[in-house]
Amino acid sequence: MSDGATRRWQVVAGVCVLLLITTAISAFAVDLGAARPDPVPFEDTVKLGVTEEIEQAAEHRGASIPRVEVFYSQYRYVVGYAGVAQAVSALDEPGREQQFGYPLAVYASDYAGRSPGCANGTLTAATNPDWVSVTDAQFVVGSRATLAGESVVVPFSSGDDAAAFADACGGRVVNWDELRRNPPPVPSAAGVKSQVDDRRARADRQVAAVDPLLDREESVVVGRDAPTIEAAVAAAPPNTTVVVPSGTYAEHVTVDKPLTLRGENATLDGGGEGTVIDVRADDVAVTGVTIRGVGNATRAENASGSGDWDAPIQQGYGGGDAGIDARNVSGLYVHDVTIHTPANGVLVRRAPGAVVDDLRVYGSEEWLDGFMGVIAMNDAVVVQNSYVEGGRDGVYLHRAHGTVVRNNTFLDHRFGVHLMYTSDTLVADNVARGQEGSGVVVMTRPTANAIVGNDVRHANGGIFVGGAQSYVAENVVVDTDRGMVAYATQTTYEHNVLYENEVGFAASTVVPSNRVVANDFVDNDRHATAGPGPLRIYTEDGRGNYWDGAYDMAPDGGDGTLSRPYSPTDELDRRLHRTDAAVTLSAAPTIRGLRAFRGTTPGFRKASIIDLAPLRRPANPERLAQARNETDTERRAA
């Protein structure tokens, strides 16, 4: 190393030491001798627990949600939990004390004197509850009051009031210690992981249910038995097939009975106006046709902001032009269809059991000019084996809980797959390329989504996940500005490959609650970044992630991990895979000592990430090798 380079790294080292010491001093700003802090308004807390969507739905029907707020010894913010069970689960998470310190005070909503009830399974209260220290409270568990399918834990400062509520609504009364010893179950990312195969099987069953629609008896042939497709639909008996021979048909068609519309290299042209095929009956199948001439309206003309809080989306997005539009029907099957559209390809709204299979949509070249390849609202659909190029989003979901989007290709959109207010989905094994926004994005804080096995490359963003209690695994993200962005809480990220991105993983939540393990970070400009918040520990059960550039002078102890921690947000560690000088300085005794202190001190190094047991070898070698090989092939072809 040259003298100049040595001096530069000495300066860097001095700055790093000063920053570390300054942070250490500020981390202990809490006066542990002060009296127990008083409760604060819940809106002033940093919130976790049930999702915003569940809260809004509960408030809409007049439900009350018990809340908990926790004051930690080494965290400047008060953490608020919507749901007592969620708070109990969070307090017992591994590494909680290491990240936040110990709880100075814990308060829960006090329903004593608030006339709580459980009519129709909903917890209600005459007035808003006050606060009670959990050590002074009694809790009713297992009552008939539920929220999102789970029994609500209801706190009381009065044992008599708790007993009266249990008599009226069922359940039993326990104290805080017993509640901690026998915590109620809460939804979790582990539960979502265990459901992935079930969600695939559910999609298989949904496809199998509509598959017989393709085998209906032929009844009317257009051109032989009827002059137009519309006339053929009118003449055909229900539950039969209308055959559309080769040719171009300048028509708009309404299917108002259970029929199969089967084309034989047929094209329907709407002349640039409106929706081309309008489905208004259950058990309709459309197969083997090409659709052109769709109108360019991307939103309903009469959409307004009146009504429910999401009415503009429901009315606007759900009312544009489409190649195929189906609403308030069940059992739709769109199979082997090609659509050229300046607006929507397939629009389904309140269409339970719908399946879109082997669809090809070609939208606008500029995403701002177009709309959605497939848009689904209000019910679970299956979108599979399809190709969407151009337009705004490949698949857009709005309150389409339980949807499965699998084995599709999305090219050149704003977003490949876009979830809004949609939970319990499976987004699996899709390919996304060239997105201006991201390949997959989950917005508006839903819960229990599984994002598995997707391949996103050459896009501005990779996979951005919001909400809570989701499972993000086995994905490959290559050549993006930000590979993964974790807006989500209580979510597992595992067995992903982040390769050659500007930033591999961006942690954006204020309260660290995610599990990030067994991922491979290779050749990213920065492996990971973190926003404001305490130290994030990406290690579980003695194993962490593989970080390209992390090194170890000690031999393998047999567990496959390095003997020194690694921090992708550390000024030196984050350069280890970029410059040899960082390796030399990182081995200095002073730096090693400060890092050891950082890894064991609550609240130390705000806005930082540390892996206490980084892996010596990639956790996903086959997936990583495929990413490298395909990237090398693309470069040779270019």
**238-254 residue pLDDT tens:** 999 999 999 999 999 99
Q: Assess if residue 74 is contained within a domain.
A: yes
pLDDT band for position 590 (cuts 50, 70, 90): low
pLDDT band for position 174 (cuts 50, 70, 90): very high
Q: Which long-range contacts (CB under 8 A, 24 or more apart) does 178-183 make?
A: 179/84, 179/88, 179/139, 179/141, 179/153, 180/88, 180/91, 180/92, 183/85, 183/88, 183/89, 183/92
Residue after which a domain boundary falls, among 186, 204, 237: 186
Q: Assess if residue 578 is contained within a domain.
A: yes
Backbone angles phi, psi at 624, to 5 degrees: -65, -45
pLDDT at 55 over 80: no
User: Which 3 state secondary structure label does DSSP give 205?
Assistant: helix
pLDDT at 302 over 70: no
Q: Assess if residue 529 is contained within a domain.
A: no
pLDDT at 140 over 60: yes
Q: What is the mean pLDDT of residues 607-633?
A: 94
* Residue 58: per-residue pLDDT: 62
Element (H, E) at 322: strand 322-327
pLDDT band for position 31 (cuts 50, 70, 90): very low
How high does pLDDT run on average in the chain? 88
* Residue 6: per-residue pLDDT: 41
Same domain, 115 and 3: no
Same domain, 3 and 81: no
Same domain, 594 and 619: yes
pLDDT band for position 398 (cuts 50, 70, 90): very high
**How many Cα atoms occupy the beta-carbon half-sphere of 364 within 13 Å?**
19
pLDDT band for position 360 (cuts 50, 70, 90): very high
Cα–Cα nearest to 184, from 166, 168, 172 = 172
Q: Assess if residue 455 is contained within a domain.
A: no
Same domain, 18 and 149: no
* Residue 630: per-residue pLDDT: 92
Same domain, 147 and 20: no
* Residue 309: per-residue pLDDT: 55
Same domain, 14 and 46: no
CA distances 124 to 54, 64, 120, 155, 378, Å, are 15, 5, 10, 13, 27
Identity (one letter) of the amino acid at 164?
A: A
* Residue 7: per-residue pLDDT: 41
Q: Which long-range contacts (CB under 8 A, 24 or more apart) does 310-318 make?
A: 310/398, 310/399, 310/421, 313/398, 313/420, 314/377, 314/398, 317/372, 317/375, 317/377, 317/396, 317/398, 318/347, 318/349, 318/375, 318/377, 318/398
| Residues in CB range of 6: below 8 A, 6 or more apart | none
Same domain, 22 and 57: no
Q: What is the mean pLDDT of residues 374-378?
A: 97
Q: Assess if residue 323 is contained within a domain.
A: no
Same domain, 82 and 47: yes
Q: Assess if residue 446 is contained within a domain.
A: no
Same domain, 14 and 72: no
Residue after which a domain boundary falls, among 164, 186, 208: 186
- Helix, strand, coil share of the chain (percent; to 5): 25, 35, 40
Same domain, 571 and 600: yes
* Helix 589-600 × helix 3-27 angle, to 10°: 30
Q: What is the mean pLDDT of residues 142-168?
A: 93
* Residue 12: per-residue pLDDT: 37
Q: What is the residue range of 67's domain?
A: 42-186
Same domain, 23 and 59: no
User: Which 3 state secondary structure label does DSSP give 488?
Assistant: coil
Q: Assess if residue 174 is contained within a domain.
A: yes
CA distance 97 to 76: 14
Q: Assess if residue 226 is contained within a domain.
A: no
Residue after which a domain boundary falls, among 186, 210, 235: 186
* Residue 50: per-residue pLDDT: 60
As for how many domains the chain has, the answer is 2
Is 55 or 297 the better-scoring residue by pLDDT?
A: 297
Same domain, 547 and 615: yes
**535-574 residue pLDDT tens:** 899 999 999 999 999 988 788 888 999 999 999 998 888 8
